[in-house]
Structure 1
Amino acid sequence: MAPPCGSERRWSRAVKMTFYLFFLIPMSSAGNGKTNTIFGKKQKLEIQQQLKRLNKPALKSIEGPDGDIIDCVDIYKQPAFDHPLLKNHTIQMRPSSYPEGFSFDEINDVSSNFEPEFTQPWHLNGRCPEGTIPIRRTKEEDLLRAGSVANFGRKKYHTIPDAQNKIEVNPHEYAMIGEAGDKYYGMSVEMNLWNPHTQEDNEFSISQFLLTNGVYVQDLNAIEGGAMVYKDLYGDKETRIFISWTDDEYQQTGCFNLACPGFVQVNKQIAMGARVTPYSKYDGNQFALKFHVWKDINARGDWWLSINQRDFGYWPSSLFSILSDSASTVKWGGEVLNYYKDGQHTTTQMGSGHFAEEGAGKASFFKNLNVIDGLQIQRAPRDTMTLMSKPNCYNIIDYGDYFYFGGPGRNPNCP
């Protein structure tokens, strides 16, 4: 294990302020934690209309052993094309180019027997046919947990009241690293797969990557993805794969997975929002998800995503105002939502639930970190900044192109 950096790197005041503003405002949330909502006739009609919008007609449906229903939807009838900017969109079935070192030609060959290193439970009961994509079906109970049809799948800025100080408290907590100050045309990462405990149904635990324009204003652009546990959204406390994007600081855009139209999926093996297994085990076998995101500069400039070296789909460049050109910040790490149940920090875990200093096989890791910089060169991060919003609850140790992170939440030093 390499030693941690010995001194804090110095940035210009402007860059540092931008980075802290970006870090300190929460990125991910959805719903409002309400359950058991009683709906009248109007609301029930809205639910049925929303379900019809979200659940496209399936050519085949597969029920997994975990209760998820996966609909195999015609690739040309997927939710992306509900977006007004994509009405006449032509699907690009694969990128026109890969950054150096990113080529997956052999395993993307449809005749290849390559399988992702992770599995999803629905695979046990069938696969989607050619010309379709798998979409996790949204159920009525999913919308009920959201508290309203409009809230389902959406990200929101969460606060909690502090009556004593008469202020609103930010419940989002982070252990992340990032680089800013250049133009970025992509990134790669291999992130550890765990099943962290979440104490409350409306709390989540996320391991994620983000590419953004770096400033929290109304025109914030962001692309993100990773793995998350979030019972309010999914109905259980299993680890699920996710993506998201926004062009307006999550005001009108910004949903998990395919709940908001925009992302164009081309892969027929991976269902976004479905469970991923196996999980890593403490002091045992370790499993990871590999993500690559890059801008296909030789074609339309779309942002492509690959998962475990298989092209998954892309965010069309036309969705964005600023990311249509490039990103200015890349980040990796963990985030939790902590609602201070009964005035205490909750026991919601980040990563493996163990602190970074426990190291290999025990703490969660992000490794093989790379960015594609303004010169279109793939390189390891440099001059990174670290954020630990509550280091006694969750922490991070950065070793350059990899880091360990995580924590248990409430403990004697994190009351």
Structure 2
Amino acid sequence: MAKVSATSASALHCPLVTASGRSAPNRDDERPKKRSHYYHLAPRIVSKFSNWSSEAAAGEVVVWRERGAFAATSPAVEGASGEEIRTGERRRRGRRGATKRPQMDTARGVACLLVAVICLSCAAAASARSPAARMNRHLKRFNKPAVKSIEMRPNYHPEGLYDESKSNVASNSNEEKPKVQLWHQNGRCPKDTVPIRRTKKDDLLRASSMRRYGRKGHTTANPMSVNPTMLNEGGHQHAIAYVQGDKYYGAKATINVWEPKIEQPNEFSLSQLWILGGSFGEDLNSIEAGWQVSPDLYGDNNTRLFTYWTSDAYQATGCYNMLCSGFIQINSEIAMGASIFPTSSYSGSQYDISLLIWKDPKEGNWWMQFGKDYVLGYWPSFLFSYLADSASMIEWGGEVVNSQPDGVHTSTQMGSGHFPEEGFSKASYFKNIQVVDSTNNLKAPKGLGTFTEQSNCYDVQNGNNAEWGTYFYYGGPGRSSSCA
């Protein structure tokens, strides 16, 4: 089995999630905030009728004085050097001068304060509109997902009532378990926290739009399309197996892991399963999970574990991994968006990962499990309309973006980059594919179909045997002598 890693410790952070089901502030928030130097430029006068405290100063550094004294933070105000100015300490200048001079000083101070406030307001408004400020707001949103309450475990599992023993199933197995991640070499997330891949400025700068960062275009394959070529309007091509015509409550597959070559940075190649509800119009609901290579999203060509969801056909809702509110992670060992290693080699060692997604019949949430050990998290039922009930179609397979560089088909590979007929250790595969039925049990899919837009570029072939159950090989090289 392939393992999951992250490239470096700095690429991950560990937001706190309490066992009671409540989130807590990121530990970064507990560090003392450095006060802006603008606060030190603005004078503040505490009148003799006020009763200010340092907390009431809203972050400004106010030199505290006793009640009835002036205080300020800027030398621009007389008395800001620290001396207290009390009634009766000034030299008498006659009845008229004794009352006029303090009033004039106070007026000057108020005028200075108003000018400073106006200047700071203008500067703050300009700063808030700057590209850097917008980027920082996006970074804060990506790196501190808002979660108010969570479920800590599912109520049911497709193999029976869920209990704690499910998390220890593989402890008695001889199968290699994905325990070690590269980021573990520099430490682990503390108890009651989860690992989240940190979004950096470079990630946003690579994106064509900060608003669309972490989102797909309309990409789901519709095998029933009368005109399949229309599906490539967005530049996406598929080689999939699918079932439809029933109510489905989950799906499972073991997926062969490769590192396909990507021609253009704005292209990707992935292998995943889709849980679908609704039509293929604007109301499509989709839950997705698998592995992908996406230079535009991650900044490298590593094969990475990912999730995705949408409730409106990829228009305004949904995102990859934890880049928006949606998927809620509860596992502290496996990081979404982390690298999968090792990957398979042509005519060499083969590695795969097992994924299971199912609907909890009690709460209605859609849960995800990685391998036999790790229940990673869930998609709350309220995210969806059609999937709040059940799925109407399940798809397994590969997808690539074909941006048609120089007006020809891309050479971006799908799967291993080789056609299905080459078979084991050469072509990529899905094996032991299953669906979850209305009784919450796993079973082999009935009436499995296959679909691809251009079989001369990427193809799919299915089969069945005792060892692999229902399976299929898929993929291809993209541009070739037969695929222009």
Sort the TM-score into its range (normalised by shorter chain). Answer: 0.7 to 0.9
Alignment of 1:142-153 (within 5 A): 142-153=203-214
Residue 18 of structure 1 corresponds to: none
Distance 1:240 1:268, change over 3 A: same
Between the aligned partners of 1:338 and 1:102, the Cα distance in structure 2 is 44
Residue 255 of structure 1 corresponds to: 319
Cα RMSD after superposing both structures: 2.4
Residue 61 of structure 1 corresponds to: none
Alignment of 1:188-337 (within 5 A): 188-297=252-361, 299-309=362-372, 310-337=374-401
> Which stretch shows the higher mean deviation, 117-126 or 362-371?
117-126
The answer to whether the 8 A contact 1:205-1:228 is kept is yes
The secondary structure found in structure 2 opposite 1:48 is helix
Kindly indicate whether residue 222 of structure 2 is the aligned counterpart of residue 180 of structure 1. Answer: no
Kindly indicate whether residue 467 of structure 2 is the aligned counterpart of residue 403 of structure 1. Answer: no
- CA shift, 1:234, in A, is 0.6
- CA shift, 1:238, in A, is 0.8
- CA shift, 1:330, in A, is 0.4
Between the aligned partners of 1:325 and 1:382, the Cα distance in structure 2 is 21
The answer to whether the 8 A contact 2:217-2:234 is kept is no
Higher relative CO (CA 8 A, sep ≥ 6), structure 1 or 2? 1
Between the aligned partners of 1:137 and 1:396, the Cα distance in structure 2 is 36
Residue 481 of structure 2 corresponds to: 412
Distance 1:155 1:364, change over 3 A: same
Between the aligned partners of 1:380 and 1:252, the Cα distance in structure 2 is 34
Residue 94 of structure 1 corresponds to: 153
- CA shift, 1:384, in A, is 1.6
Q: Deviations over 1:30-64 (max 9, x none)?
A: xxxxxxxxxx96221100111112113xxxxxxxx
Distance 1:331 1:296, change over 3 A: same
Alignment of 1:54-73 (within 5 A): 54-56=142-144
The answer to whether the 8 A contact 2:271-2:398 is kept is yes
The answer to whether the 8 A contact 2:218-2:315 is kept is no
Alignment of 1:110-129 (within 5 A): 116-117=177-178, 120-129=181-190
Q: Deviations over 1:159-214 (max 9, x none)?
A: xxxxxxxxx94421110010000000111100011000000000100101000115
Distance 1:410 1:273, change over 3 A: same
- Runs (4+) of structure 1 exceeding 4 A deviation are 101-105, 109-115
Distance 1:182 1:107, change over 3 A: closer
Q: Which amino acid aligns with 1:360?
A: F
Higher helix share: 2
Kindly indicate whether residue 141 of structure 2 is the aligned counterpart of residue 53 of structure 1. Answer: yes
Distance 1:378 1:53, change over 3 A: same
Q: Deviations over 1:334-374 (max 9, x none)?
A: 00001111122121000011110011111101001000123
The secondary structure found in structure 2 opposite 1:149 is coil
Q: Deviations over 1:82-127 (max 9, x none)?
A: xxxxx4x3x2211111112796844614996998437543233221
The secondary structure found in structure 1 opposite 2:385 is coil
Q: Which runs of 5+ in 2 are unaligned?
A: 1-127, 220-231, 465-469
Residue 192 of structure 2 corresponds to: 131
The secondary structure found in structure 2 opposite 1:399 is strand
Residue 342 of structure 1 corresponds to: 406
Residue 448 of structure 2 corresponds to: 384
TM-score by length of 2: 0.66
The secondary structure found in structure 1 opposite 2:139 is helix
Higher strand share: 1
The secondary structure found in structure 1 opposite 2:435 is strand
> Which stretch shows the higher mean deviation, 226-235 or 252-261?
252-261
The answer to whether the 8 A contact 2:255-2:354 is kept is yes
The answer to whether the 8 A contact 1:182-1:374 is kept is no
> Which stretch shows the higher mean deviation, 225-234 or 143-152?
143-152
- CA shift, 1:314, in A, is 0.6
Q: Which runs of 5+ in 1 are unaligned?
A: 1-39, 57-78, 82-86, 159-167
Distance 1:131 1:242, change over 3 A: same
The answer to whether the 8 A contact 2:157-2:440 is kept is no
The secondary structure found in structure 2 opposite 1:133 is coil
The secondary structure found in structure 2 opposite 1:330 is strand
Distance 1:321 1:146, change over 3 A: same
